[in-house]
Amino acid sequence: MFDFLKKKIGGLIDGLTKKEPKKESEILEHHEPLPKVEQEKPKKIDREIEVEKKIEEKFEVEKAQEKIEPEKIQKKKETIVKEEKPKEKPTKHIKVEKPKQQIPPRNEPKSLENLEPLKVEREEKTEPISVEIEEQKPIDRIQLSKLQKEAPAKSEPPNKERMKIGIVSAVKSIITNEVEIKANEVEEMLETFELELLESDVEFSVAEGIKEELSSKLIGKKIKRGGLHNFVSGAIKETIVDTLSNEKAANLVEKLEGAQGKPLKVMFFGINGAGKTTTIAKVAKLLMDNKKKVVFAAADTFRAAAIEQMMVHADRLSVKVIKREYGSDPTSVAYDAVSYARAHAIDAVLIDTAGRQDTNLSLINEMKKMVRVIEPDIKIYIGESIAGNAIIEQISTFNREIGVDGVILTKLDCDPKGGTMLSINKATGIPIIYLGIGQKYEDLERFEAVKIAERIVG
């Protein structure tokens, strides 16, 4: 669980902690000039190509002349090769003098018919040039500066989001033994992190709030070298705890202790398929492990096989079930269960209800009636963790119509993202009280913000 969210938060921490220089030598090595071998190789190749190009241009001009002989062309070629040898400094440019003869017009091609094609072997041009260039010691300053500018770009890591500390900040951190987190170094990464939270099913306003809170906790802070990773991790953990925490979170066991002889009436509701009936059985197991007596009220008289499903769980746990026929008034079933609990000194009545969408007004009104008559002590919404942002609207509607005291989030073991859990408290104001993390009756975990934050951040 939380795999996707863990990955994104881990990426943010890794990116932020790239700011911290580990050794002074690493900073100095980053600014060393390139080795001579790497500088000379591209220069030698460019020099050969330039000389070959100019030789070919001169041959083309001579070839097009009207009264030129093949012997003269060969002699001219040898002269050009000698002229192109870099005997002088490489900074001097080779001047190509244009021939004085006029190029014949295109309508007189007869003068070119007797010319033999000029065969220039590449070896004749490149061999003497390459020898001379290898023996050259001076380096062209213009090309050297270009190579030095291109070198840092090649040495950068492929991930552009990784923060790099500037040379001034790096030297300052060595002197003061502190690293300062600046706005321009983290703003882009936090913007990206906000988008990743949205991909993890975090509601928009919640993702924006997390980003702003992290900005206030990170920007401008001065941290000792070696402690940056712990500082960033701690800031993210603290932000997650603030997002998840709610003082109104109820503990059912503690609620039972304060009931003082009267049965604790707990009503469960939510949409179909969220695991409502199974979660009620898990809550019963939790209370029974704390030496409390419970009774089931099978008040879902609408869905087929809902009563039989409740009876199967009751048989496994040895719990009494109060039921009626399908189509009966669900409020009367819940009322009978409360009366039975009072008569038999039962500690808690767990009331199942028909699954309903938040848009089904008739079923919402039926739920309102049940709440008025039974007056439950705790009203719990059961929703799927994999529902994404849709669960926010569902909880908000039920809370507006009948009031919600807590949320049990199911199927968390099937949720690779985990962002829904971050959204509920901040977006609705309703606390998460338990998490369903498996199929067994024991797989009901008390929701604790600090433990969840540690599991996400690590």
> Is 186 inside a domain boundary?
yes
The answer to whether the CB of 317 falls within 8 A of the CB of 285 is yes
Mean pLDDT, the chain, integer:
75
Q: 309 with 399, same domain?
A: yes
> Is 352 inside a domain boundary?
yes
Q: Cα 65 to the chain's mean position, in Å?
A: 69
Who contacts 345 (Cβ-Cβ below 8 Å, separation ≥6)? 293
Q: For residue 244, what pLDDT is reported?
A: 92
- Tell me if residue 105 falls in helix, strand or coil: coil
Q: 294 with 424, same domain?
A: yes
Q: For residue 247, what pLDDT is reported?
A: 86
Phi-psi region of 430 (alpha: psi -120 to 50; beta: other; left: phi over 0): beta
> Is residue 409 within a helix (H) or strand (E), and if so which, with residue range?
strand 406-410
How far is CA 69 from each of CA 62, 66, 118, 130, 179, rounded to the nearest angstrom?
Answer: 10, 9, 11, 30, 76
pLDDT tens, position by position, 428-450: 999 999 999 988 999 999 999 99
Q: 101 with 217, same domain?
A: no
Cα R_g (the chain), whole angstroms: 40
Q: 307 with 390, same domain?
A: yes
> Is 211 inside a domain boundary?
yes
Who contacts 100 (Cβ-Cβ below 8 Å, separation ≥6)? none
> Is 27 inside a domain boundary?
no
pLDDT above 90: residue 225: no
Q: For residue 208, what pLDDT is reported?
A: 93
Q: 343 with 413, same domain?
A: yes
Copy the structure tokens of residue 40: 């000379």
Q: Which of 86, 114, 147 is the last residue of a domain?
A: 147
Confidence of residue 129 (pLDDT cuts 50, 70, 90): very low
Who contacts 447 (Cβ-Cβ below 8 Å, separation ≥6)? 244, 249, 409, 431, 432, 433, 434, 435
> Is 381 inside a domain boundary?
yes
* CATH code where residue 381 lies: 3.40.50.300
Copy the structure tokens of residue 9: 């938060």
pLDDT tens, position by position, 348-364: 999 999 887 777 777 78
Q: 211 with 360, same domain?
A: no
How far is CA 201 from each of CA 87, 205, 386, 415, rounded to the nearest angstrom?
Answer: 70, 12, 9, 10
Q: For residue 106, what pLDDT is reported?
A: 53
Strand duo 432-436 + 444-446: pairing: antiparallel
pLDDT tens, position by position, 141-183: 555 555 555 554 444 444 333 344 444 454 444 545 677 788 8
* CATH code where residue 172 lies: 1.20.120.140
How far is CA 196 from each of CA 39, 158, 370, 419, 424, rounded to the nearest angstrom?
Answer: 42, 19, 42, 10, 18
The DSSP 8-state label assigned to residue 249 in this structure reads: -
Q: Which of 209, 244, 279 is the last residue of a domain?
A: 244
How far is CA 141 from each of CA 42, 84, 138, 398, rounded to the nearest angstrom?
Answer: 13, 20, 9, 74
Q: For residue 184, what pLDDT is reported?
A: 83
Q: 320 with 447, same domain?
A: yes
CA pair distance 173, 167, nearest whole angstrom: 10
Q: 432 with 301, same domain?
A: yes
CA pair distance 137, 7, nearest whole angstrom: 52
Q: Which of 212, 244, 276 is the last residue of a domain?
A: 244
pLDDT above 60: residue 210: yes
Nearest one of 373, 328, 372, 330 to 352, comparing CA atoms: 330
pLDDT tens, position by position, 299-352: 999 888 899 999 999 999 999 999 999 999 999 999 999 999 999 999 999 999
pLDDT above 70: residue 234: yes
> Is 103 inside a domain boundary?
yes
pLDDT above 80: residue 192: yes
Tell me which residue has tokens 């000698």. Answer: 82
First and final C-alpha spacing in the chain? 13
pLDDT tens, position by position, 43-85: 445 656 666 676 666 666 666 654 455 555 566 556 655 554 4
> Is 304 inside a domain boundary?
yes
> Is 152 inside a domain boundary?
no
Q: For residue 277, what pLDDT is reported?
A: 93
Helix, strand, coil distribution of the chain in percent, nearest 5 = 55, 10, 35
Q: 263 with 380, same domain?
A: yes
Q: For residue 268, what pLDDT is reported?
A: 96
pTM value?
0.65
pLDDT above 60: residue 284: yes
Q: 430 with 310, same domain?
A: yes
- Count of domains in the chain? 3
Q: 421 with 347, same domain?
A: yes
Sheet holding 406-410, edge to edge: 320-322, 294-298, 348-352, 264-269, 378-384, 406-410, 432-436, 444-446
Tell me which residue has tokens 């080795």. Answer: 35
Q: For residue 156, what pLDDT is reported?
A: 43
Q: 308 with 413, same domain?
A: yes
Residue numbers of the domain that contains 107: 36-147
- Return the beta strands (E) in 79-228 as ranges: 178-180, 222-224
Query: Which residues on adjacent β-strands are paired with residue 211?
Result: none
